[in-house]
Amino acid sequence: MRAALGALLITAFGLGRPLGAQAAGAPGRPPNPPTAERIQIVKYGDQIGWNDSSLSRDLKLLTDSINLIAGEMTSARMKGIPPGRIGYLQGRLGALEGRLGGLQGQLGQLQGESARHGEELDGNRSRTHRMLSPRDLDKLFTRVRQDPQGIELPPADSIVRGAFAVTQGAVIGRVAATGQLDVFGRVNGNAVSLNGDVVVHKGGHITGDALSVGGTVRLDGGTIDGELRSTDRAVAPTAAAAASSSGFLSILDELQIAMGWLVAMVLLGFGAMVFAEDRLRIVAATIEARFGRSLFAGLLAEVSFIPVLVLSIVLLVITIIGIILLPVVVPGIFVVGALLAVLGFLAVSRVAGQALTRRAATVSVRGAELRSMLAGLFFFFGLWLVAAILSWVPVLGPLLHALAFVVTWAAVTVGLGAAVITRGGGRPAPSPVAAPDAASELGWQTPTPISGIAAARRQATNTPEA
């Protein structure tokens, strides 16, 4: 009973042929044998039947229900469950059969409509095929060969122009045609239809893959050992796709990111020059005066950021008011950290820029500072741009990336440290280390060192003794 119902359902699905399915029965070809095991790959662009067709969904649910009840019946019979239960199940099965009959009627209607549309589509396909000149066909072959989703084709002169059928009992090697390909015999290898369908009829066998470009692959009772694949069209890799595969697009992506950061930092630099000029100066002065201390403070800030964040959250959540403040404080910590890092990086850029540029006599102090900062930013981001451009070079690319990363990280760390030391430039800059005063240096020296304590206190000279 169960098998019979299953077969009935499969037949019902098989009747709902996709558009263009009627071409299989064209004159001059072997007849299309009726079969209860017709499975199809729908035409591209159509959704898979059970996806958006309520009818197919109903049929699927029905199948599941029938299978479930049939399973229960088998199990009930084996376990010797009272006949009352079996009778109930049989009743439900009968009801489902009735519903199945109704759905089959609807399927029949759809089949009629499908046939009409199919004839129209076949007509269109034939016209399309006739329009392809030998040159166009050659282009199509090239595209299919180059297409990553394509397949290896036989030589162009071995590709059948137009529709082709592998007759029953025939055994051939791989085959390709520019129209519909009907397989009743055996194909040892791939079978390809360009601009048509591949239909594998009962008894037909393809040992490789079946590909249809612009059509469908359909099983009409036959066997395909490999993949059934259909694509809407053959696409030779375009320049962009080729670029993508060669890594060119990734270079462009990297360049875009680096340029984006550069533009953002330049804008932030202008903003800092306008709104926080003094703070920027103080941080820059701190970097110059206390480079080592800034680096240490920066490292400490980076290492302690997460613990401080966690500690802040813990301290906040133990009090009611802290919980209320939590949504403000946690983002606030991130914002303050980011601002300090940006301020510090801009200051480092200015200091680095000063070393790279000469101040023109006509440029004001402020203009010189701006120029220095821009030069510094171009230097740091220039490293990333160069690394991006040369990223395709096997060893040099990664090395340049590493260099750019280390230099940028060091700059950010030093800048952050200086910003932290000066509390964001709010503290006055440390006074530069005083140059040794010649008079005081001489003051403690004994004028005429001869021997004894005074001689021992005399500063040692670097001049080697004779």
Partner 1 sequence: MRTRMIYLALAVALMPIAAEGQQWRTIESARQLANTEQTRVSLTFAGGKFELRPLTGALLYQMHLHYDEQSSDAVHEFDAAQHQLTLGMTKANVGWRALHSMNRDDSGNMTVGLNPTVPMKLELNLGGATADLELGGMRVKSLKLNMGLAGGNVRFSTPNAIVMDELSVDVGLGGVKFENLGNANVSQIDINGGMDGVALNFGDTVMHDVKINAHVAFGGLKIQVPRSVGVKVQAETKLANFKLQGFTRTNDAWLTPNWNESARHVTVVVNAAFGSLEVNHSEP
Q: Does 148 bind partner 1 (CB under 8 A)?
A: yes
Q: Does 277 bind partner 1 (CB under 8 A)?
A: no
Q: Does 236 bind partner 1 (CB under 8 A)?
A: no
Which pairs with CB-CB distance under 8 Å and at least 24 residues apart come from 260-267? 261/381, 261/384, 262/377, 262/378, 262/381, 265/342, 265/345, 265/346, 265/349, 265/377, 265/381, 266/374, 266/377
Give φ, ψ of 359 to 5 degrees.
-80, 125
Applying CB under 8 A, among 7, 25, 34, 64 the residue interacting with partner 1 is: 64
For residues 317 and 393, give the distance between their C-alpha atoms in angstroms, rounded to a whole number: 52
Count of residues near partner 1 by CB under 8 A: 51
* Least Å from the CB of residue 92 to partner 1: 15
Q: Does 442 bind partner 1 (CB under 8 A)?
A: no
Q: Does 136 bind partner 1 (CB under 8 A)?
A: no
Q: Which is nearer to partner 1, 14 or 298 (CB)?
A: 14
Q: Does 223 bind partner 1 (CB under 8 A)?
A: yes
Choices 111-119, 121-129, 228-236, 368-376; region in contact with partner 1 by CB under 8 A: 228-236
Q: How many Cα atoms occupy the beta-carbon half-sphere of 466 within 13 Å?
A: 0
Please check whether residue 347 is in contact with residue 276, taking contact to mean a CB–CB distance below 8 angstroms.
Answer: no
For residues 342 and 365, give the distance between their C-alpha atoms in angstroms, rounded to a whole number: 22
Choices 103-111, 236-244, 334-342, 454-462; region in contact with partner 1 by CB under 8 A: 236-244
Which burial class, exposed, middle or buried, applies to 275 when counting CB atoms under 10 A from its CB (0-12, 13-18, 19+)?
exposed
CB environment 302-314: b (16+ within 10 A), e (fewer): beeeeeeeeebee
Applying CB under 8 A, among 171, 241, 360, 393 the residue interacting with partner 1 is: 241
Q: Does 243 bind partner 1 (CB under 8 A)?
A: yes
Please check whether residue 217 is in contact with residue 197, taking contact to mean a CB–CB distance below 8 angstroms.
Answer: yes
**Which residues within the stretch 323-362 sit at the binding site for partner 1 (CB under 8 A)?**
323
Choices 8-16, 110-118, 359-367, 429-437; region in contact with partner 1 by CB under 8 A: 8-16
175 three-class SS: strand
Distances (CA, A) of 67 to 74, 77, 91, 96: 10, 15, 14, 11
| Sequence-distant (≥ 6) Cβ neighbours of residue 357 within 8 angstroms | 371, 372, 375
* Least Å from the CB of residue 214 to partner 1: 11
**Which residues within the stretch 293-312 sit at the binding site for partner 1 (CB under 8 A)?**
none
For residues 113 and 45, give the distance between their C-alpha atoms in angstroms, rounded to a whole number: 18
Q: Does 193 bind partner 1 (CB under 8 A)?
A: no
**Which residues within the stretch 17-56 sit at the binding site for partner 1 (CB under 8 A)?**
37, 39, 41-42, 44-45, 47-48, 50-51
* Least Å from the CB of residue 14 to partner 1: 9
Q: Does 244 bind partner 1 (CB under 8 A)?
A: yes
* Least Å from the CB of residue 185 to partner 1: 18
Choices 21-29, 99-107, 256-264, 283-291; region in contact with partner 1 by CB under 8 A: 256-264
Q: Does 104 bind partner 1 (CB under 8 A)?
A: no
* Least Å from the CB of residue 142 to partner 1: 17
CA dihedral 243, 245, 251, 257 (to 10 degrees): 100
Residue with tokens 């392809």: 132
What residues line the site for partner 1 (CB under 8 A)?
Answer: 9-10, 13, 37, 39, 41-42, 44-45, 47-48, 50-51, 59-60, 63-64, 67-68, 148-149, 216-217, 219, 223-233, 235, 238, 240-241, 243-244, 249, 252-253, 255-256, 259-260, 263, 317, 323
